[in-house]
Amino acid sequence: MLTRTPSVVAQVFLLLSIILVIAIAVIQINQQKILSPGLKYGIVLDAGSSRTTVYVYEWPAEKENNTGVVSQTFKCNVKGPGISSYENNPGALAKPLDDCLKKVKERIPVHLHKTTSVYLGATAGMRLLRLQNETAANEVLASIQHYFRAQPFEFRGAQIITGTEEGVYGWITANYLMGNFLERNLWRTWVHPYRKETMGALDLGGASTQISFIPEVSQENFNSTLQVKLYGYNYNVYTHSFQCYGRDEAEKRLLALLLQKSSTSSSVDNPCYPRNYNTALTVKYFCGSLCTQSLRPANYYPNQSVSFHGTGDPGLCQEMVSLLFNLTACKNQEDCPFDRVHQPKVKGNFVAFSGFYYTINALNLSDHFSLADFNTSMWYFCSQNWTQLQFMLPKFEETYARSYCFSANFIYYLLIHGYNFDEGNWAQIHFQKEVGNSSITWSLGYMLSLTNMIPAESKMIQLPLKPPLFAGLLILLTATALLCLLFLVYVCIVSRNRKDISRVEYVFTPE
């Protein structure tokens, strides 16, 4: 009876230990929670020729096919001109940057500041400055690097991106925002859209303009075709950047051309300026650029003042703008519209952003309209006098308002005679500023490309029991089960031995 009781207790403990080990293991496996590692942030400074814009992007730390699903969460325009304007005083860059960076710090959680990467990409304005004065360009970039060393973020460098990069990043942005790379299915997971065509991208900046699209047939003679890989798919994109064909630099070339053709050097008529508008500009303002070097007067006095009088003549404005395009350089080759650049035939839908959008908005046109409507609106706008114009524009700023007529004519010539759009495929161009809350600009495409190089974080697993406690319980219960098992084996052996002794004693007992 005494042996039987411990044996029963041991059997109960053994059974309970086995049941508990199985139960804890099942609960630990089935009740675990997979937690997202959260969000990551990136900051891109778009250092354009006329201004700098700061963009804050965020994306889930676990990526989709090696590319982050990125969205814009904040945008800040840095006060003042573009960074290339600080060539004579690079140290003055810090103050205007400070205002935006303070707001950025508030948008990103403090504990993520150290792991948030900052990239500065400078475009055509700095490309021109580097060609004109490489030392000054390097000093501007060095000043920016010095500034960001004192910031809490992880600064990954300030670089001057090429025109090709600017073009392809703009194409990536446009197609990403239009949902041409990824879309959510019925189960709310990201998938590649089935048979969805990509869009071409048209970008008009201050110093350069870019065209990017996937041609009908990929041809080797177009050396501006790049292979882009996003979300596991490859795209062969034709892209080209035209230096000095940005809105600001093109207008400077027009002013220099008007001065060259004028009978006087102090007072010049400008058919692209509104009637009754007058302004005085220094020769350096429009002839000091590398883009207008060939148009400088023989007697070049940088500080000489020239008075420009607006005549508001749409026909003459269009005629003068046509002189900015070298349409005969290619000798009427079909795949070479202007500037000795070979370009495949435009194909599919296009989105036109940046300077394209702002000009179309000034003409009071929507994102989609016919070529005839554009010409009518342009002619009407260019015929207005300066006083009338101030009441027509949704936002009036003198520097932009006086130039919208020129911009409209320049856009017409660039799209029709430069890129070979016509009345038929003009309707396929959509003029847009943003999609949702995200601006259409090369910086988002830049961020998307950079996320390919940022490693994804593994998901965190939350368990019902902490690993040390789980391990401790397993060891305790396993040890208990083993002890109980050993005890039962021992009891079994002892019991068998006693039976054997009892049998022997019975055999040798005298009768």
**Residues tagged in the binding site annotation for ATP:** 206-210
CB 331 within 8 A of CB 337: no
3-state secondary structure 287-320: HCCHHHHHHCCCCCCCCCEEEEEECCCHHHHHHH
Q: How far apart are CA 209 and CA 203, in angstroms?
A: 6
Half-sphere exposure in the Cβ direction for 251 (13 Å, CA): 25
Question: Which tokens sit at 397?
Answer: 């700023």
Q: How far apart are CA 109 and CA 149, in angstroms?
A: 19
- Check 58, 165, 166, 249 and give the catalytic one: 166
Other residues' Cβ atoms within 10 Å of the Cβ of residue 62: 15
CB 374 within 8 A of CB 365: yes
Q: How far apart are CA 229 and CA 198, in angstroms?
A: 14
Residue 95: CB partners within 8 Å, gap ≥ 6?
none
Helix (H, G, I), strand (E, B) or coil at 438: strand
Quickly list DSSP for 159-202: EE--HHHHHHHHHHHHHHHTTSS-EE-TTS-EEPPTTPPP-EEE
Helix (H, G, I), strand (E, B) or coil at 71: strand
Residue 137: CB partners within 8 Å, gap ≥ 6?
84, 87, 126, 129, 130, 160
Helix H or strand E encompassing 145? helix 134-149
In the block, residue with structure tokens 């990043």: 169
- Closest by CA to 305, choosing from 273, 336, 267, 331, is 267
- The helix-helix angle for 124-132 and 163-177 (nearest 10°) equals 180
220 tagged catalytic: no
CB 413 within 8 A of CB 321: yes
The DSSP symbol for 92 reads: G
Quickly list DSSP for 233-246: EEEEEEEEEEET-S
Catalytic machinery residues: 166
